[in-house]
Amino acid sequence: MEYGQEEAPLRVLDNLNFNMERGDTVAIVGPSGSGKTTLLQLLAALEQPTQGKINLDSQTLSALSPDELADFRRDNMGIVFQSFHLIDSLSALANAALPLDIAGKPNATQLAKTMLDRVGLKDRVQHYPQQLSGGEQQRVAIARALVHQPRLILADEPTGNLDEKTGKRVADLLFELHAQSQSTLVIVTHDMRLAKRCKRLFWLESGKLRVEENSELSV
């Protein structure tokens, strides 16, 4: 994966080749600037690889048009962004219901309420993002990412902005929801305690990937 102009491209990821199994938990780790977010964006098809391809089950993501990609993402992925990306003009409930609303599901509000309850925000459903703490906003973002039970959950530094206690709570929640839905969970993190809760560690450095099976899984 390269960024930038043709005459001076910046090669961020170089010849990566890996598989993930359904139900896997993967932590993407590595120094700042090593391409962790880039890799997550590629998996989310928010960026396209300069060379090579990414398949999710039998679907090659780069073969899809932007509209098809948006539909594919909506149906199959839940993305938790580092800076939440909540919509300020929508309540917590409307934010959490968004993926289902967009997909035209009739019971979107009820499912979003149930999900907000599960993330401990039953009493905050009518609050707007600016009326919520960082941890609460992150939990709304998780509820929104998981409300449609995606096959693939992608989370970029999901605990990065949170204090230790809230961070642990948010991480517990991600793993719990992952276990219940048998989805594949991919987390970008600097936090090795969080990374070690994953079955596999993807170490990125100087554009290369080293995959390590986690023998000391600490859930």
C-alpha separations of 199 from 20, 31, 176, 177, 178 in Å: 11, 20, 14, 16, 13
Stretch that binds ligand ATP, among 2-10, 52-60, 112-120, 191-199 (CB under 6 A): 2-10
Which residue lies nearer to ligand ATP by CB, 50 or 180?
A: 50
Q: How far is the CB of 54 from ligand ATP (least distance, A)?
A: 15
Evaluate whether 163 touches 135 at the Cβ level (below 8 Å). Answer: yes
Interface positions, 24-83, toward ligand ATP (CB under 6 A):
30, 32-38
Q: How far is the CB of 151 from ligand ATP (least distance, A)?
A: 23
Q: How far is the CB of 195 from ligand ATP (least distance, A)?
A: 13
Which residue lies nearer to ligand ATP by CB, 13 or 100?
A: 13
How many chain residues bind ligand ATP (CB under 6 A)? 12
9 binds ligand ATP (CB under 6 A): no
* Positions in the binding site for ligand ATP (CB under 6 A): 3-4, 10, 12, 30, 32-38
